[in-house]
Amino acid sequence: MIISESAIGNHPCCGKIGTMTAWLPATPENIVRAAQVLREGGLVAFPTETVYGLGANALDERAAARIFTAKERPPEDPLIVHLSHAAHLEGVARSVPPLARTLAERFWPGPLTLILPKQPCVPDLVTAGLDTVAVRVPAHPIALALIEAAGVPVAAPSANRFGHTSPTTAQHVWHDLEGRIDILLDGGPTPIGVESTVLDLSTEPPRILRPGGVTREQLEAVIGPVTVWNRQMPPESKLPSPGLLERHYAPRARLLFFVGAKAWSALIEHLQAFLAEGKQVGILALDEEARQIEQQGALVYRLGRDVESAARRMYAGLRWLDSHQVDVILCRDLGESGLGLAIRDRLQRAAAQVIHT
């Protein structure tokens, strides 16, 4: 079965701002209206090239506080500040090292978030009390137009309830946040599908705190070796980034994630055992592997032909399988090159169990 993104539905625009959410197509007029709402301290969900973000004026503490309430996000998880241009960096970052400039020139607008020393004007609430601020310039015309029109930096986490799967369509945002935000700007499915790469420049070599849309290979081609932080590294007194919780991005169903040389055959064994127990099984698989198992009785969501399309479709697949009430979801690791590393990071954290083969 081939699953396509569902068509953009009606826009149930209610025209009121408040606890009612207006779901609006991202026309130039609606972008101006949403920018006004941001300036007035409201909440606007908008597409970026990675996932949908839930934006508020990053310099307005009360507005930023509403993000945490709407998402039910714990206050110790800091937000990313979005700018329309790197020229505005000094407005939120106290200092910008040459390495950050190089990276900004090469990768912005784009899915790279840099951790920099924060300006005092950025409320502590936004950075969860840290002395640093996470900043990026998104590569999506709607996001850029919105931030530009608002004329303020925009704090925006992914527009999902805390701990849930990230949203890659306006429907996903509506499902999680309807009635909790002022405007949802609908710009269709997001093109990359996994969040930005979060890079810490305070260590030597720099380290990736969260793999994402800009790959390790792309970074290394510009700045040389980088490390990737992971939970298996020698224990530190605390997480380098408070948002790096082990359990995150989780679907409702129990997710089993298979890693290693025999991941696919182990997945098939588990599939057969679950089916024999009468369980409803969901599977995320690349097209070629999906074809091998489609007749076995599981609900199969095709991720496409390569890691890029898997990244784009992964979150939608988890949500789709959840909407079909499966008991368990099975998927295998897709390696660590390119976007594979980000996919592995998210599925490991979404998984109830990681099975090493």
Contact residues toward ligand TXA (CB under 6 A) are 48, 50-51, 53, 77-80, 111, 113, 115, 127, 130, 132-134, 138, 156-158, 195-196, 198, 209-210, 241-244
Minimum separation from the CB atom of position 267 to ligand TXA (A) = 28
Task: Find, among 314, 342, 67, 331, the residue nearest to 172 by Cα.
Answer: 314
**Closest CB to ligand TXA among 61 and 294?**
61
- CB-wise, 132 or 215, nearer to ligand TXA? 132
Beta strands in 107-196 (DSSP E): 112-117, 132-136, 154-155, 183-186
Q: State in angstroms the smallest separation of the CB of 213 from ligand TXA.
A: 7
Partner from Mg ion, ligand TXA, none binding residue 206, C-beta < 5-8 Å depending on class? none
Nearer to ligand TXA, 249 or 264 (CB): 249
Concatenating the DSSP letter of every residue in 16-77 gives --SSSPEEEE--HHHHHHHHHHHHTT--EEEE-SSSEEEEEETT-HHHHHHHHHHHT--TTS
Interacting stretch for Mg ion, rule CB under 5 A, among 130-138, 150-158, 217-225, 336-344?
150-158
Q: Minimum distance between the CB of residue 3 and Mg ion, rounded to whole angstroms?
A: 23
- Residues near Mg ion (CB under 5 A), total: 1
Helices (H) and strands (E) in the chain, counts: 11, 16
Cβ distance 102 to 123 under 8 Å?
no
92 contact partners, CB below 8 Å, separation of at least 6: 58, 81, 83, 116, 118, 119, 121, 122, 133, 135, 153
Quote the CA–CA distance of 135 and 123 in Å, as a whole number. Answer: 14
158 binds Mg ion (CB under 5 A): yes
Q: How far is the CB of 80 from Mg ion (least distance, A)?
A: 9
Q: Give whichever of 84 and 266 is closer to ligand TXA, judged by the CB atom.
A: 84
What lies within 8 Å, CB to CB, of 221 at 6+ separation is none
Q: Which stretch binds Mg ion (CB under 5 A): 153-161, 181-189, 276-284, 302-310?
A: 153-161
Closest residue to Mg ion: CB criterion? 158
Q: Which is nearer to Mg ion, 158 or 241 (CB)?
A: 158
Q: Which residue's CB comes closest to ligand TXA?
A: 243
User: If binding is defined by CB under 5 A, does position 215 make contact with Mg ion?
Assistant: no
Say how far apart CA 257 and CA 91 lie, in whole Å: 42
48 binds, among ligand TXA, Mg ion, none (CB under 5 to 8 A by kind): ligand TXA
Residue number, 222 or 239, with CB nearest to ligand TXA: 239
Pick 167 or 340: Cβ nearer ligand TXA: 167
* Nearest distance from C-beta of residue 308 to ligand TXA, angstroms: 16
CB of 84 to Mg ion, least distance (A): 21
Query: Based on CB atoms, which residue is closest to ligand TXA, 204 or 288?
Result: 204
Structure-block tokens of residue 246: 């082990």
Q: Do 57 and 67 meet the contact criterion of CB atoms below 8 Å apart? A: no
> How many C-beta atoms surround the C-beta of residue 335 within 10 A?
13
Q: In this structure, what token pair is assigned to residue 7?
A: 């068509």
Is cis: bond before 235, omega within 30 of 0?
Answer: no
Q: How far is CA 342 from CA 195, 238, 273, 352, in A?
A: 8, 22, 29, 18
